[in-house]
């Protein structure tokens, strides 16, 4: 199975789609050191553990705490991988466990690569995105998709908050930045930015 989704001279992005909600699971790998991080241990833990072993994953980052994004966490932790989540979303992981917190604006080193954590509340209080320094890539979890923001009807969601979060924290990224969301296809900041007012007007 080929999992390579995007690459340049410094890094590789691997992607698999798992579970009944077709969650995207991404692995960001540093080509210089072979170190990697897995984003969202969503489901199908056997497949994810195989990816972790094959690609040199050292730790797991959760974009948010919704159940469809965390179902593989117990098996991943049992295998010895550290799972990180924001403090605000940590209560959602009380049944599966976690190890450390991710803070807004934290810089996470993956080999020679640097991931910048961006707190993006609105889908959940602690939703977080990850921007790759020096590369046109941002992992947005369920905050931003092609065609609009993630759902805000669940507990802890808020539409005005997610709009503000997208406008002031994601739409400041360069237009060519590729958005890799928690479900479905990728898009770019430039494709989505012109539609912000349409989303506000429609209310979802």
Task: Give the model's pLDDT for residue 78.
Answer: 98
Residue-number span of the structural domain to which 182 is assigned = 4-202
pLDDT at 94 > cutoff 90? yes
pLDDT digit string (tens) for 97-124? 999 999 999 999 999 999 999 999 999 9
Q: Judge contact between 41 and 48, C-beta under 8 A.
A: yes
Task: Give the model's pLDDT for residue 152.
Answer: 97
Q: Indicate if the alpha-carbon torsion angle 87, 92, 95, 96 is positive or negative.
A: negative
Residue 192 gets which letter from DSSP?
H
pLDDT digit string (tens) for 37-58? 999 999 999 999 999 999 999 9
Q: Judge contact between 25 and 36, C-beta under 8 A.
A: no
In which band, very low, low, confident or very high, does the pLDDT at 3 lie, cut at 50, 70 and 90?
Answer: very high
pLDDT digit string (tens) for 130-176? 999 999 999 999 999 999 999 999 999 999 999 999 999 999 999 99
Total domain count, the chain:
1
Task: Give the model's pLDDT for residue 113.
Answer: 98
Tokens representing residue 6 in the block = 């995007």
Task: Give the model's pLDDT for residue 176.
Answer: 98
Beta strands 11-18; 4-7: pairing state: antiparallel
* Stretch 87-97: mean pLDDT: 98
In which band, very low, low, confident or very high, does the pLDDT at 182 lie, cut at 50, 70 and 90?
Answer: very high
Task: Give the model's pLDDT for residue 132.
Answer: 98
Name the average pLDDT for the chain.
Answer: 98
pLDDT at 80 > cutoff 80? yes
Residue that the structure tokens 């991943």 belong to: 76
SS3 58: strand
Looking up residue 37, the CATH number of its domain turns out to be 3.60.15.10
């Amino acid at each position: 199975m080929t999992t390579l989704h995007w690459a340049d001279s410094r890094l590789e992005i691997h992607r698999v789609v798992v579970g009944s909600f077709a969650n995207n699971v991404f692995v960001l790998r540093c080509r210089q050191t072979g170190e990697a991080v897995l984003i969202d241990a969503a489901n199908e833990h056997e497949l994810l553990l195989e990816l972790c072993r094959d690609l040199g994953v050292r730790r797991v980052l959760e974009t948010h705490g919704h159940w469809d994004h965390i179902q593989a966490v117990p098996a991943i932790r049992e295998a010895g991988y550290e799972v990180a989540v924001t403090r605000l979303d940590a209560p959602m992981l009380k049944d599966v466990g976690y190890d450390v917190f991710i803070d807004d604006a934290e810089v996470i080193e993956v080999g020679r690569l640097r991931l910048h954590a961006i707190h993006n509340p609105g889908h959940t209080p602690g939703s977080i995105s990850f921007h790759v320094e020096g590369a046109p890539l941002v992992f947005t979890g369920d905050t931003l998709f092609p065609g609009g923001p993630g759902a805000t009807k669940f507990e802890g969601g808020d539409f005005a908050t997610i709009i503000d979060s997208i406008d002031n924290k994601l739409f400041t990224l360069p237009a060519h930045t590729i958005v890799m969301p928690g479900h479905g296809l990728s898009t770019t900041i430039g494709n989505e930015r012109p539609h912000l007012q349409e989303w506000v007007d429609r209310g979802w």
